[in-house]
Structure 1
Amino acid sequence: MSDFICTGCGKHAPIDTLSYKCGCGGLYKLNSDAPKFNPALVDQSEFSIFRYRRFMGIDTAKFREISMGEGLTASVKFGENLYLKLDYAMPTLSFKDRGAAVLVLHAKNIGVKKVLQDSSGNAGNAVAAYCARAGIECEIYVPKGTSPKKIDMIKSHGAYVTVFDGSRDETADACRKKAAQEQIYYA
């Protein structure tokens, strides 16, 4: 069984809460009874991040509806003790796909219809792609000056992009404010 626990005051919240933070202002972290990592519990037949679903602490029964094969990108030996992970082979060309897949699966599980997220580009693109796959409406806030190519990538998934005239931190603040005022899931 899983729930969330506030990192500020220790209060528990149900796994299906639509809030990302506690009333005290503390952020939630997952409180799960998922097993400790054990290679024998890895689903070797699954070629995505969800091969590790037994350890995720969320309902992963419908992962095939969300997954686009994220994770398990190749590694190339670069030096004697150095390997490079080729994450440009991810569905949206970014390592952000792993987290986006799990986040959007959870959002889908708890009935979210629309998400808001702030991003400087890569995370917004990944969340937009996975939301499109899940049938969840998506709006991404980006700071003014974000690469037009990144904005176009986000839009290509059907997401709405709000370009905010402010710094990255101000953009995040504006996004969280809208999420709270309109009771939209802040991803």
Structure 2
Amino acid sequence: MKKQERATRTRTSLVLAAARNFDRHGYDGTSLAAVCGDAGISMGALTFHFRSKAALAAAVADEGVGELQRIRAACPHTGRPLHDLSALVLAVAGTLHSSVRARSAARLITEGHVASDWPAVWRGEVRGLVERAWKSGALTKEVRPGTATQLVQHLVEGVAIDARVTGGQRGPAPSDFPEVWRAALTGLAAGPGAGLADVP
């Protein structure tokens, strides 16, 4: 049992060290030697758990996407599209800011080193909420749902980039992001009567 626990701890340490390196340097800029050095674990132990850098990247992406999916699943479904959209955006942005695994997964997927359906699922959910808000008259008719969806994506991706640049400090999303999100949402809303009062 102790051997199994040690193996689990080693694997966890390697995935975390790899996530830090992939997040900072990307796939191509990360070496297995750097991951071993960061984790304080031998190359032999790394290759016992992961046969290649690609396998290690896939493990990091699986864990990061898992975090994002759990956050998404925990978001409320109140039937009020602006409220639900706001809760989803703030939760995903917060996770990307605070979790190096989630940020690393997003980078690996975006750069094409790991295949995942997460981007399509995330974009589809945002698009669905935006379209429902638009059809209900809660969003201004001057902005198409596709444009609003793209704006949401850029804002959330910006959180991950900002966290990467600032060293991915742990903690909640940057204090100004909810304000930035509120400003964007106010610009998308149809007006004062669009139901923003109860939006997070």
User: Does TM-score exceed 0.5, indicating one fold?
Assistant: no
Q: Which has the higher strand share?
A: 1
Higher helix residue share: 2
Q: Could you say which structure has the greater relative contact order, defined with CA pairs below 8 angstroms and 6 or more residues apart? A: 2
Instruction: Give the TM-score taking structure 1 as reference length.
Output: 0.28
| TM-score computed with the length of structure 2 as normaliser | 0.27
